Amino acid sequence: MTASATSITSSLPTGFDPNRTYRAAVIGAGSGGLTMAIGLAGFSHEVVLIEAGPVGGDCTNVGCVPSKALLHAAAHSIEDPFGYVRAKRDDLAGREEVEMDEHDTIHFLRGRARLTDQRSPHVVAVARPDGSEVEVRAENVIICAGSKPVEFAIEGMPSERVLTNETLFDLDEIPGRIVLIGGGAISLEMATAFRDLDVEVHIVELANRLIGNDDPLVSSTIQAALEARGVIMHIGTSIERFDAATNTVHLADGDQIDGVDYALLAVGRRPRLDGLGLDVAGVDHSPKGIVADDWGRTSVERIWAVGDITGNTLTTHGANAIGRRAVRAIALPYLLTTGSPRAMPNAVFCRPEIASVGISVEEVASKNRAGRRRYEVHFADTDRGYTDGVEHAVVMVDVERFTGKVLRAAIVGPAAGEMIGLFTMAIDHGIGLRKMFGTVHPYPAYAQAIGKLVDDFARDTYPALPKEWFAMIRGRIFDRFRRRVSR
């Protein structure tokens, strides 16, 4: 062994051997990477976990954890809300890093990884913080490199006034007026938090409605709720320029917003593909992410990809779900890798909350109208909604006639993120509204809105079972024919 090799090895984690072939090398210590590393370690496999940044990835450091901490701090009038956020974030990240450093079968390696063209075993080159490079040999490589916010310049606006989720939580002072660019989850949650902090909030959304991938009723309900709280909407327009002399944002529709302190870019995310050596290793990818199936398998045998890097999911629970499937496929290769993932719910923790599960809005619309029904119940029409003065809240569900099979469900309202679990379980286990009839919900819980919805389905279905059965059959025949024609 050369002197240089000895110095490099001595700076590596205790127990790590660059000449050994490990069961897996995991690139990225975010939610997907931690799921993979901890999961495989639970099967007594030794794993190398490679990370260049903070442990916990986006979720712990710039996403789910700090955003929910800010929502909590703002709602409870905590002094120094951004200090509170950073304390929560740093504490959790620190504990996660210690856990990885001290793990018996996970070798936590600091550095930036890239794939090579070597296989059997796969070789991953890792550029270390001290400028050295070490190779990791592994039977399997799992890429969990995550995503980053879409960024663009705003004409005339200094870069220090333009925020993303990666810089937002480093603010020291509460702004007086902020513009949130985009009408998706990040903007809706931050609009909620900043209004609680008494900040003047403007949302600028290019599309003709908020949260455009969800149901139009979801969009209109949450817009009405936020406007009732004082959020100012600019829908169907975009920012043209910023006048630094007056701190004025000029919009494409001719409107303007004066006295702006910051603009938050929240128009989407893109996978972190640069520098991974995907082309060298022959891994299929596109600007949308690494091409991977719902077990995490890529175009190269024993190279896997999980989480945001694939573009298949942009949520922590989505990365965890696919990660668990990939763990099973690697650790228990004798089991068949067949079947689809469980239903994947989504939630936005604005106020009121938004949650949904099931097939997409477009897929629902493509199904034969004669074979499906929609049911809606507004929280205001429930006793709990009445006592709490809930005005802008609704639960809606699209179902198959006769069986009540849940196609898609969406909730806007208090505790929506908790309530959606009932519909998620119904989809996973084939429990239609017909089987849910008679289920008892505690009075006066918000979940009674679901009970009322099921009652409406029962009133339509039970008095006309033959008619509903034929409608279901017609719908299924139409959908089967449509799928055959579209192939």
The per-residue pLDDT for range 303-321, each reduced to its tens digit, is 999 999 999 988 999 999 9
Q: In the prediction, which pLDDT does 15 show?
A: 84
Task: Give me the pLDDT at residue 8, please.
Answer: 40
What DSSP line would sit under 47-114, residue for residue?
EEEEESS-TTHHHHHTSHHHHHHHHHHHHTT-SSHHHHHHHHHHHHHHHHHHHHHT-SSEEEEESEEE
346-486 carries CATH number 3.30.930.10: no
Instruction: Say how many C-beta atoms besides its own lie within 10 A of residue 256's C-beta.
Output: 13
Q: Render pLDDT for 38-66 as a digit per residue (tens, 0 to 9).
A: 999 999 999 999 999 999 999 999 999 99
**Which ranges in the chain are annotated with CATH 3.50.50.60?**
3-148+270-331, 159-267
- Is residue 2 scored above 50 in pLDDT? no
Q: What percent of the chain shows pLDDT beyond 70?
A: 98
Can you give the pLDDT at residue 11? 65
243-255 pLDDT tens trace: 999 999 999 999 9
Looking at 229-315, list the stretches that DSSP marks H as alpha helix, in order from N- to C-terminal side.
278-281
Q: How confident is the model at residue 484 (pLDDT cuts 50, 70, 90)?
A: confident
Provide mean pLDDT across the span 213-238. 98
Distance CA 253, CA 237 (A): 6
Mean per-residue pLDDT of the chain? 94
Tens digit of each residue's pLDDT (9 = 90 or more) over 370-420: 999 999 999 999 999 999 999 999 999 999 999 999 999 999 999 999 999
pLDDT of residue 14: 79
pLDDT of residue 327 exceeding 80, the answer is: yes
For the chain, where do the domains classified as CATH 3.30.390.30 start and end?
A: 346-486
Q: How confident is the model at residue 483 (pLDDT cuts 50, 70, 90)?
A: confident
Instruction: Report the share of the chain in percent with pLDDT over 90.
Output: 92
Band (338; pLDDT cuts 50, 70, 90): confident
pTM to 2 decimal places? 0.93
Parallel, antiparallel, or unpaired: how do β-strands 353-358 and 346-348 relate? Answer: antiparallel
Domain 159-267 has CATH 3.50.50.60: yes
Q: Which residues contact 104 (CB under 8 A, 6 or more apart)?
A: 41
**pLDDT of 180 over the 90 cut:** yes
Average pLDDT of the residues in 459-466: 96
pLDDT bin (cut points 50, 70, 90) of residue 280 is very high
Hey, what CATH topology would domain 3-148+270-331 get?
FAD/NAD(P)-binding domain (3.50.50)
Contact 47, 32 (CB under 8 A): no
Statement: residue 300 has pLDDT above 50: yes
